[in-house]
Amino acid sequence: MRRTIKREADLLITDEKEPVKRRLRERGAAERPVELDNFLNLLARAMLHPSASTMASFVAGKVFQKLERTGTLRDKQPQDTGIPSGLEAALQNAIAARDIYAEVAQSVRRLAGSLVWIRGRSGPFASLNFEKAHAHSVIVGPGGLEDRADIRVGLTYMEPYSRFPDHVQRFSRAFLLLSPCELSIAGASWISTGIGGVFAAEAGQSFAMRCTTTPLLAVWCHVEETGR
């Protein structure tokens, strides 16, 4: 039997004080802005590529299926987005890699100024000063450019020589790496992967990631359990 993971235990969910089911429900009437639509199309191409793991494609596929319907589009520019100072360097590294991942990074660059970036909590085995060395942003989902309750598409940035806290995932989540990264899933040994790595961590699994000389930038997505 799968154990229930509390929302606050999943450190990629930064709004646990206001559960998704209490958020504004999507109306689905507006058309997506070109830049957002372009980003989502590029992300689908990258995450559903034949080289991606079966689990990652399965998780991402459910997200993109729901994206066939548009949520509520945010029409106001935030005053202070809190954009990380090192984000541009991370994007430049991905752009230099060329291929579809460079296109995804360029699309993120065009959206970055409209995103709200939030620092999450620290936790077990996190690097020193982790609270100041990372940021998350929701592109599609609660509080995102497209506000909706059923899915999340987000970004996580970490400065060089940072380690994300070990934690247990509440949702099965797919990731696209726009930087080199080291991963440990379900307590397994650390593995290294480069720009373009696509992987998934299943609900209930422990998860850890870290970076060394270059900043970490990852796009991730999952389906929310709105019925609970």
Q: For 58-84, how does the pLDDT look when each residue is reduced to its tens digit (9 = 90+)?
A: 999 999 999 999 999 987 666 667 899
Confidence bin at 86 (pLDDT 50/70/90): very high
Distance CA 74, CA 144 (A): 7
Q: Which residues contact 25 (CB under 8 A, 6 or more apart)?
A: 148, 149
Distance CA 179, CA 94 (A): 6
pLDDT at 21: 42
More confident residue, 211 or 123: 211
pLDDT at 74: 84
Q: Considering the chain, what is the average pLDDT of its residues?
A: 86
- Judged by DSSP in three states, 20 sits in helix
Helix (H) or strand (E) holding 25: none
CA-closest candidate to residue 178, choices 76, 109, 77 = 109
Confidence bin at 183 (pLDDT 50/70/90): very high
CA-closest candidate to residue 28, choices 74, 75, 66, 70 = 70
Q: Could you read off the pLDDT of 23-43 as tens digits, one per residue?
A: 444 344 578 999 999 999 999
Distance CA 102, CA 108 (A): 10
- What is the pTM assigned to this prediction? 0.84
